[in-house]
Each structure stands twice: as structure tokens, then as C-alpha cells.
Amino acid sequence: MPDRRPTPPRPALPADARGMIGNMKTTALVSLRGAIDFMCFPRIDSPTIFAGLIEPSHGGAFSIEPANGTANVKQMYLPDTNVLLTRFMTAEGVCELMDFMPVPENGDAADTPAPLPNCVIRVARMVHGSMRLSMRCEPRFGYARGAHRTHRIEDGAVEFHEIDGALQLRLDSTLPVEIDDGAAHAEFELGDGQSAGFVFGEAEGLREKSFHCETVLDHTIRYWRAWSAQSTYRGRYREVVMRSALTLKLLSSSEYGAIVAAPTFGLAEALDGSRRWDYRFTWIRDAAFSVYALLRLGYTGEARHFMRWIAERSRHCDSDGSLNVMYTVDGKAPPEETEAASLADGTAGVPLVGNAARDQTQLDVYGALLDAIYLYNKYGAAISYDGWRDVVRTVDYVVDHWREPDHGIWEFRNGLRPLLHSRLMCWVTVDRALRLAEKRSLPAPLKRWFDARDAIHRDIHEHFWNEELNAFVQTPDSKTLDASALMMPLVRFIGPTDPRWLGTLDAIGDGLRVDPLIFRYTRGETLDGLPGIEGGFSACSFWYAEALARAGRVDEGRLVFEKMLAYANHVGLFSEEVATSGEALGNFPQALTHLALISAAYQLDRNLDRVHIPWT
């Protein structure tokens, strides 16, 4: 009798068991099983069309894998590119699956093809032996809430039309494709040297444009290698720094210049499945890190594009000079936060779309903004008259409001409080504005600004210093440590060997560290008013490594840095957080983590190479 027992479901892959591809419009995550199981379309902050990463049973995916489901799998990027290669290996054969998105036109290349539609290209080819493969393309529109119709077109393509929306998608294939319960499906065998190609994207563009996948692949590889070659970084951490730069490029918008915090939403920050935020937006806070990293790597064009985006936000700020915390890539307010119940997987939390932090008060964002403007003026181009007028308005707002409590960098959802990091970045706001005014001989209320800067400096030392802990603390009269204090020497508020700073550094190492992992703040049941226990915050670990190096404890900093590199996934991507048991937590990959990595790598290179940079 045949065995009629049902095949048990395969265990879910860890969230970081994926590589990322993209085209500076949107991104897609490709799993070690050959499935695109997370993709928003047509833009990185649009609704999902594939969300199997969050809800495997009905979130949707586009899979290409061995038909029997068994193979050894390795995944890598082609060197210095964002072209992802997944290799399926069995005793009978080795198949390579190449995943990429056509990139924007490069006007400097004589053989650049005409602009291509917004799409994913997948090429499966046998490099040895033979293998039977299965392809299934099963989109789920609008966060798996929307229904669609599936049609076979005369030319053999399959189109998916959203019933209650305008989105139309198309799958072109070099092989015959069947329709199976609303999905496109094919099983096929490839022999040595044979290949199959699939193109999936916007239907209108694909109807009008025909192209050869291999030609587009060659162009895409040349584009990424030419972009990578622009990097001026020659330090000892070239591979991880370059992967971080390529990741940041994928998280940027070629149209607007903004860089989103992460390409995903709904990936839990706690092992119980809670804390499932949406990070597909651009935080003003990340501005200084982004500009610093891009300029340090030699990407002045990207820095200029991002600065234009920042300048537009400053130009359109409220009449009192205040800014929003975050924006969509085109500079609008993010949507209200709602539950994506259609993607709930039965764990402790429901994925959230939109972000309620958009309505919070976070005074630290102004320091990030002014630091970015200052750095770009120092290493890029001088600020315009109109731009400076907008800056003055914003600095005056900070001078008027720096004493007020806020929600802070960690976006607390249980009330306002006076926060060390927010005061620190208010100091940065005024300090950078003063430096810029003096350097460029710009008109400004200098006495008012000097008085405010001095007052903030005294306030931090007098009210946020805890004698018992010998450390700066999160709020006045508390014993709560906060890893965001690691920014104090990085933004040059305090000397890296100042006794007060060294005490704070030791306190953070003793109170917030588990091996290389640095937790955001002293953990307690009611501190942030949220359920679940989060992991170590990866960016904080790289800040800690850099702070150690700046303090002269280079060997310690290097060890923390090198240990953190081991938490990257198999293709060098970092999640937002890491559990003490090693699991990746939070949205993935996380821009802030890669930005902090680049900064720490530069500082370690300077220390290890004994390069002295004057503190001017």
C-alpha cells in the first residue's frame, strides 16, 4: 500500500535566511529555498505582493526550487554587486538561480539598454548534470487582503489583475506555464548548460518591452561593479564595508534620494512575536549617519541627492521650524498605524503597517539634521541663502524647546520624559549651526545660540550625571543607563577619554552588554510600556566598538566589532537586533546597523593604522 500520510510542513526559515535584491525603487528578499517571500510593489513603501516571510500559508511567494524539495543550498552575491546567486546542489546536478532587478539607466555607458520596467528577473541555469525544478508564482495583493484574477495571455505570459485596485502584474517565462488556483506554476527539467528565465513585474511595461535576460544581467553586473569601484575605502574591512554600502544603495530611492530604515515591516523584535513595527520610511535621525557614511566612502553624488531630500524637508517644515520625525520616500507623512490582521501568524503580535511614531515629539532629530547639513558643508557644497534661512528657523525652534520632554530616539510609547540623548542632540543642533555660521560668515543670533548651547551643556552635566553610578543616565535623578549615550563622544560633546565619559563607558559595558551585544537601556517591565523582551540593538554594539576605540581601548573595540561581524547573515546583512541566543530579531536588513558598522570600521582603521585626526 502507498504511504498516504501527509507530508509534514517544512520548518520556517529564520528571518535572516535571505538575501536582498532591488533597483532603488523597491526591494525583494530571496530565501535560501529560492523563494521571493517578501516584496512591496511598485515602491518600497507600497503594500506587499509577497509576504510569505511574515505569514507563510497565505502571504504569497514566488518560488523556484528543486521539485523534490531536497538539495544542499548556498547563497552569495556576485562580487561587488547586488546580483544574488542561489545554488542548489544534489548528486545529480548543480543549478544556479540568479536573481536581480534591472537598475536605473546609466547615462555614461554607451551600451546601456533603454529603461526597463520595474521588475524582477530570475534565471535558472544548470552548471552540472540535470535537475527537475518547480516554479510557483503566487502574488497576494494589498498585504494579502486583496483578491485578484489570473489570465493567460496569447503570447504565453500570465497576468495577475487586482480586483479592487489598479495594480496589474505580469509573468513572462521562457517555458510553458500553467494556472493553478490563481497562481502560475510550472515543473521543468534542465540539463547541463540549459537555462530558464522568468520576468515578473508591472504588466504595462512588460507588455511594451521585450529584452534578453542575459543581456540585462550583464548590464546589471557592470552597473553594480562600476558603482562599487567608486568607493574610496581601502581599509582592512573592505568586504563588509562594501556590502554595507551596497545595502544602503538598495535602501535608497533613485528618484528622491531618501534612504529607508529597512525594507520590511512586521518582523518581531522579541522572541514571543511582539513588537512588529513598520520601518519602510525615512527617519530624519538617520540623516547624519547616512551623509557621513556616503561621504566617507566617496559617494558624493548619493550624499548630494540625500541632502537635497533633507533640504526639501527643512524648506517645507512648519512655520515654527519644527519637522516631522519620519517621512515616506517622497517626503510625505507616513500612513496611520494599523494592524495587518491578514498577515497575523498566531504569535504574540500582529504586524503593523504605518507607524504611530510619526506623531511623536522627538527633539533629537534636529541634531541629526544639523549634523548632516554641517558635514555636507564641510565635505560637499556650501549652503544656499534660502537653505540657511530655513536652518535658522529650525535652530530657533530648538533653542525655544530643548528643555521639554519628548519620546526620544527609542520612540517610547508610554509618555514623555526628559531624555539625555534628546538633550545631547539639541546641543548638536546649536553647536553645528554656530560652527557653520562662523565658518561661512552667515548671519545668525549668535549670542542667543551661544547661551543656549552653554545652557544645554550645563544641564546635561548637572542633571543627567549620576554620582553613584559614575555615569550619565537616561533621565534626571534615575539609575537608568541608555546606550544612546554612546553618541556623546561620537558627536564631540565630550572628550573620548574624559573621566566622566570613561565612567559612562564602563557602566554601559557592565550594565547593558551581553558579550558583544549592547541592549538599548536598562531593562525593566515598565520602562517602555511594551510587551516582550527585545534583543541587543546591533547599531548600539557598533557604537560601543567605536567608543572603545576612541577611548584608546582599541583591542577591546576591535574584538566587539569582529564578534558583531559574526552576527551578519550568510551574505553579510544585519538585522536590527540580535537575541542573546543568536537569533536575528526585528526588521531586516537594517540601514542604521550598516551605517554604524561603516563608522566603526573607519575609526578602527584609524586607530590600528595610528592615524591621528586632529579634533578641529
- Residue 490's SS3 state is helix
Q: Where in the chain is the domain with CATH 1.50.10.10?
A: 253-463
What span, in angstroms and rounded, lies between the C-alpha atoms of 440 and 548?
Answer: 34
Between 34 and 12, the higher pLDDT residue: 34
Q: Is the peptide bond before 42 cis (omega within 30 degrees of 0)?
A: yes
What span, in angstroms and rounded, lies between the C-alpha atoms of 173 and 196?
Answer: 8
In this model, does residue 609 exceed pLDDT 60? yes
Mean pLDDT of 74-101: 97
In this model, does residue 187 exceed pLDDT 90? yes
In this model, does residue 607 exceed pLDDT 90? yes
What span, in angstroms and rounded, lies between the C-alpha atoms of 110 and 87?
Answer: 33
In this model, does residue 107 exceed pLDDT 50? no
What pLDDT does residue 414 have?
87
Q: What is the pLDDT of residues 110-155, one digit of tens each?
A: 444 557 899 999 999 999 999 999 999 999 999 999 899 999 987 7
Between 288 and 79, the higher pLDDT residue: 79
What span, in angstroms and rounded, lies between the C-alpha atoms of 382 and 440?
Answer: 8
Residue with the three cell numbers 510587551 = 531
Q: Where in the chain is the domain with CATH 1.50.10.20?
A: 475-610
Number of other CB atoms surrounding residue 133 within 10 Å: 23
Among candidate residues 212, 369, 224, the one with its CA nearest the CA of residue 289? 369
Mean pLDDT of 5-15: 70
Mean pLDDT, the chain, integer: 92
Instruction: Assign 289 a pLDDT band (cuts: 50, 70, 90).
Output: confident
Mean pLDDT of 528-540: 85
What pLDDT does residue 615 have?
55
Task: Give me the percent of the chain exceeding a pLDDT of 90.
Answer: 79
Q: What is the pLDDT of residues 476-505, one digit of tens each?
A: 989 999 999 999 999 999 999 999 999 999
Between 335 and 272, the higher pLDDT residue: 335
Between 456 and 181, the higher pLDDT residue: 456
Residue with the three cell numbers 512591496 = 40
Question: Quick one: three-class SS letters along 371-422?
Answer: HHHHHHHHHCCCCCHHHHHHHHHHHHHHHHHCCCCECCCCCCCCCCECCHHH
Instruction: Assign 109 a pLDDT band (cuts: 50, 70, 90).
Output: very low
Within 8 A by CB and 6+ apart from 260, the residues are 44, 45, 251, 252, 253, 279, 280, 281, 282, 329, 591
What span, in angstroms and rounded, lies between the C-alpha atoms of 583 and 553?
Answer: 28
Within 8 A by CB and 6+ apart from 438, the residues are none
What span, in angstroms and rounded, lies between the C-alpha atoms of 158 and 454?
Answer: 66
- Decide: 31 and 39 in contact? Cβ < 8 Å: no
What pLDDT does residue 313 have?
82
Q: What is the pLDDT of residues 381-409, one digit of tens each?
A: 899 999 999 999 999 999 999 999 999 99
Between 286 and 55, the higher pLDDT residue: 55
What pLDDT does residue 322 have?
87
Q: What is the pLDDT of residues 192-239, one digit of tens each?
A: 999 999 999 999 989 887 778 889 999 999 999 999 999 999 999 999
What pLDDT does residue 569 have?
97
Between 69 and 252, the higher pLDDT residue: 252
Mean pLDDT of 575-599: 96
Instruction: Assign 106 a pLDDT band (cuts: 50, 70, 90).
Output: low
In this structure, CATH architecture of domain 18-214: Distorted Sandwich (2.70)
What pLDDT does residue 533 have?
82
- Decide: 195 and 203 in contact? Cβ < 8 Å: no
What pLDDT does residue 8 have?
53
Q: Where in the chain is the domain with CATH 2.70.98.40?
A: 18-214
What pLDDT does residue 114 have?
57
Task: Give me the percent of the chain exceeding a pLDDT of 70.
Answer: 95
CATH number of 475-610: 1.50.10.20
H runs (alpha helix) in 442-532: 446-463, 487-490, 499-511
Q: Is the peptide bond before 589 cis (omega within 30 degrees of 0)?
A: yes
What pLDDT does residue 108 have?
40
Class of domain 253-463: mainly alpha
The predicted model scores a pTM of 0.94
Instruction: Assign 4 a pLDDT band (cuts: 50, 70, 90).
Output: very low
Among candidate residues 506, 524, 303, the one with its CA nearest the CA of residue 412? 524
